Amino acid sequence: MFLKVFRVLLILSILNLSNGYLLETQAQVEFVSSVDSLESKSLNWYNKSPEIDKIQGADVNRCYNELLVNKTPKRTIIVAVIDGGVDVDHEDLKGKIWINKGEIPNNGVDDDLNGYIDDVNGWNFLGNSRGVNIKEENSEATRLFKKFKPYYDTVSSKESLPEVKRKEYEVFIAAKNYHLTKVDEYKQSLRNLESFERNIAQAEEFLKNYLGKSNFTINDLYGIQSKDQGLMKLRDSMIDLYRSGFSKQKLDKSKENLLNIINKKYNTDFNPRKNIIADNIANIEDKNYGNNNVKGPDPYHGTAVAGVIAASRSNGIGVDGIADSVKIIVIRAVPDGDEYDKDIALAIRYAVDNGANIINMSFGKNFSPEKIFVDEAIKYAESKNVLLVHAAGNDSEDMDVVNAYPINLLNDSSKVNSWITVGANSRKLNKMLCGRFSNYGQENVDVFAPGVQLAMLYPGSRYSIMDGTSFAAPVVSGVAALIWSYYPEFSSIELKDIILKSCTDHKNVKVYYPKRTGKAKKTKFMYLSKTGGIANAYNALKLAEKISTAKLVNGSN
């Protein structure tokens, strides 16, 4: 019995309960009321210096301590956070949320005539005028599978179809395969978890009886001494389990997350948009929906993103954001599940039309049926000198081979140049430098930034530790906002160039390819992104000053 339970306990490392089954989208989030309760190594490490602190942060603190002393920002940078919502009342975001001065709050009137009623802090594209909001959604693959199944499920080959239908059929097959694979994967994960749950209960019951206690502590386990190797292995495994932070609550949350994924994200019968919004998703002009509830039902993800960019550096509480002179426009367009292309396109246009200088996009998906809407929106953003920053994604995949939409490669084969794609790195300069989950790509990922075990904001003026390229992207958005606030003369493309040319150079560092499970292969960091580097605010500010000075000298001649 001991060895049986011990073998089951080893499953824990495979299931990776500490991070949840879907890193980020269904993450196991540890939240606390004060940063004092968080691990000190996680607190603000993204602001630290590779040179001084020997930590692979973005070298932000050194900017304020050395380069910006007695300097005043020339303008406030507006960053749009397109996400799942932001807790605009968080204690560490006071004074950092954008306010639409053309709108009178809560008077039920579109005062500034921009088409959005009472959009004081931004807009929620996942709700209706009655205040009903979407929380969960299908994956895009599930939506496509459901849409095309009646037409193509019995078709034997694309050659049997008219030429005009073959591309649509190929999309259906890809979506079907993805959907069914994910359904099988998560159902198996649920079975594994339920087996694990039963064996943990069995192990705990045995230990209670052995110790003669109705409950036991980790110290009670340390007190067990026996020549029975099975018992000692069980004891050691349970100690390791509890020391890793395992709890019944986490187990229940993992189970709840898996059921939610199965019953909603990959459930073809689940369609909240039909009743809540009831729009035509294929018509970009059908846009009379949404409301001004920018928090939404669960704003944990967007709150963390906003905090990395803009959390107050001077209030003595919480975490330190990267940019001081910044305001956050909150745009809710990303549900728990896959976003709609139409919502993202409208969100980008809303951000641009309301003065955003930078748009942070910490989301992505595998299919993009209305990509033309997003293409046109990001071209519009580029034409208005807006920098777009996108998270690479968390599937340990090569983005030179697999797309994670949205992307800056348009349907007409042109590229939007005011776009940065960001992978996630960890604290230490070693073989584990790349986040094991991070997507990568020598052509399609521009740069890496801190994104592993970051202490961040959590709704309700609380704090959390999380992983993801979702949190590496706002590091770059924050660095961009910091530079642009002092050097507003640069275009978005020039700003991008400064960030990429000034990163911490780790081209020749040997690292493991990102890989969630199993043995990873080694490579050089240069093969994982265009730059082979990590965003560095200190270097970027110095380069910005150098270029700005040269421009003035050349201009005076």
212 to each of 102, 205, 206, 208, 219, how far by Cα in Å?
69, 10, 10, 6, 14
pLDDT band at 42 (very low <50, low <70, confident <90, very high): confident
Helix (H) or strand (E) holding 330: strand 326-332
pLDDT value for 37: 66
Helical H runs in 354-468?
A: 371-383
Positive/negative CA dihedral, 284, 290, 296, 299: positive
Predicted confidence (pLDDT) per residue in 250-276, tens digit: 889 889 999 999 999 999 999 999 999
Helical H runs in 324-394?
A: 341-353, 371-383
234 to each of 149, 221, 378, how far by Cα in Å?
49, 10, 56
Lowest mean per-residue pLDDT among 16-30, 40-54, 398-412, 514-528: 16-30
pLDDT value for 143: 98
Residue 535 clears pLDDT 80, i.e. is over it: yes
255 CA to centre of own chain: 22
Residue 14 clears pLDDT 50, i.e. is over it: no
Q: What share of the chain is helix, strand, coil (3-state, %, to 5)?
A: 40, 15, 45
Positive/negative CA dihedral, 36, 41, 43, 47: positive
CB-based contact 337:265 (threshold 8 Å): yes
pLDDT band at 32 (very low <50, low <70, confident <90, very high): low
What is the distance between the alpha carbons of residues 273 and 282, in angstroms, rounded to a whole number?
13
Mean pLDDT for the stretch of residues 486-491 = 98
Mean pLDDT for the stretch of residues 531-555 = 94
pLDDT band at 15 (very low <50, low <70, confident <90, very high): very low
pLDDT value for 362: 98
pLDDT value for 244: 80
Question: Which strands, in side-by-side order, build the sheet including 30-32?
Answer: 30-32, 462-466, 454-458
Residue with the bigger pLDDT between 500 and 247: it is 500
CB-based contact 261:98 (threshold 8 Å): no
Residue 20 clears pLDDT 60, i.e. is over it: no
pLDDT value for 553: 82
pLDDT value for 31: 59
* Tokens, residue 489: 């003369």
pLDDT value for 9: 44
Mean pLDDT for the stretch of residues 377-392 = 98
Ramachandran sector of residue 134 (left: φ over 0; alpha: ψ -120 to 50; beta: rest): beta
pLDDT value for 1: 45
Find where tokens 């395992």 sit. 246
Whole-prediction pTM: 0.92
63 to each of 48, 71, 126, 319, 534, how far by Cα in Å?
10, 11, 38, 17, 16
pLDDT value for 511: 97
3-class secondary structure, 26: strand
Lowest mean per-residue pLDDT among 284-293, 362-371, 489-498, 518-527: 518-527
What single DSSP character describes residue 65?
I
Work out the burial of residue 404: count CB atoms within 10 Å of its CB; fewer than 13 is exposed, 13-18 middle, 19 or more buried: buried
Asked whether the bond before 474 is cis by omega within 30 degrees of 0, the reply is no
Instruction: Work out the percent of the chain whose per-residue pLDDT is above 70.
Output: 93
Domain ranges of the chain: 2-10+142-265, 33-138+281-556
What is the distance between the alpha carbons of residues 446 and 420, in angstroms, rounded to a whole number?
6
113 to each of 22, 116, 330, 509, how far by Cα in Å?
41, 7, 19, 54
pLDDT value for 546: 97
3-class secondary structure, 461: coil
Tell which residue, 500, 544, 504, has the closest CA to residue 68.
544
pLDDT value for 19: 37
**Beta partners for 464?**
31, 456
Choices 3.40.50.200, 3.40.1440.10, 3.40.50.720, 3.40.50.2000: CATH for 33-138+281-556 = 3.40.50.200
CB-based contact 322:350 (threshold 8 Å): no
* Tokens, residue 2: 């001991």
Helix (H) or strand (E) holding 183: helix 163-211
pLDDT value for 11: 40
Residue 16 clears pLDDT 80, i.e. is over it: no
CB atoms within 10 A of CB 283: 11
pLDDT band at 230 (very low <50, low <70, confident <90, very high): confident
Mean residue pLDDT across the chain = 92
Predicted confidence (pLDDT) per residue in 166-183, tens digit: 999 999 999 999 999 999
Predicted confidence (pLDDT) per residue in 108-132, tens digit: 999 999 999 999 999 999 999 999 9
pLDDT value for 523: 97
**Beta partners for 512?**
522
Residue 396 clears pLDDT 90, i.e. is over it: yes
Ramachandran sector of residue 510 (left: φ over 0; alpha: ψ -120 to 50; beta: rest): beta
Mean pLDDT for the stretch of residues 65-78 = 97
3-class secondary structure, 80: strand
Predicted confidence (pLDDT) per residue in 284-324, tens digit: 999 999 999 999 999 999 999 999 999 999 999 999 999 99
pLDDT value for 507: 97
Predicted confidence (pLDDT) per residue in 182-228, tens digit: 999 999 999 988 988 888 888 899 999 999 999 999 999 999 999 98
CB-based contact 17:258 (threshold 8 Å): no
